[in-house]
């Protein structure tokens, strides 16, 4: 429980994993899709995901060239979990629409 939470418990990690589950992406792409995340936080969360072996960075050439982020095979194993959370979250929204707004830590709509 706690271990899982440590790996995917960041504010944006589920969102990032969700988008990466839809295909690899570069920094700016993730930033756009996960707005309004700041570059600093995005870099932090990506580095943590990378440290946990869920995500890998692949450089595509000499700078300036987009750096691609993609799920590792291991990272793909969380997708069902992420999807489960997402689906339940939608149900929860339908049940109590207020859930989307009043929270402080709720900005991303994945």
> x/- binding map, residues 68-107, to a copy of itself, per CB under 8 A?
------x--xx-xx--xxx-xxxxxx-xx--xx--x-xxx
| Touching DNA, residues 42-101 (CB under 7 A) | 43-45, 47, 57, 63-67, 69
* CB 20 to DNA: min, Å: 13
Q: How far is CA 78 from CA 28, 65, 81, 94, 100, in A?
A: 23, 29, 5, 25, 24
44 binds, among DNA, a copy of itself, none (CB under 5 to 8 A by kind): DNA
The Cα–Cα gap between 61 and 76 comes to 25
> What's the length of the chain?
110
50-59: long-range pairs with CB below 8 Å, 24+: 52/7, 54/7, 54/17, 54/78, 55/16, 55/17, 55/20
Binding mask 18-57 for a copy of itself (x = CB under 8 A): x---------------------------------xx----
- Which chain residues interact with DNA by CB under 7 A? 10-12, 26-29, 31, 36-41, 43-45, 47, 57, 63-67, 69, 103-105, 107
């Amino acid at each position: 429980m706690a271990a899982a939470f440590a790996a995917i418990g960041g504010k944006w990690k589920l969102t990032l994993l969700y988008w990466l589950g839809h295909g690899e992406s570069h920094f700016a792409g993730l930033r756009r899709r996960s707005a309004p995340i700041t570059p600093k936080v995005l870099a932090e969360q990506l580095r943590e995901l990378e440290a946990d072996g869920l995500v890998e960075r692949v450089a595509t050439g000499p700078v300036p060239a987009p750096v691609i982020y993609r799920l590792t095979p291991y990272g793909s194993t969380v997708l069902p979990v992420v999807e489960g959370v997402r689906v339940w979250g939608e149900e929860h929204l339908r049940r109590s629409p207020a859930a989307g707004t009043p929270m402080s830590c709720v900005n991303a709509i994945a």
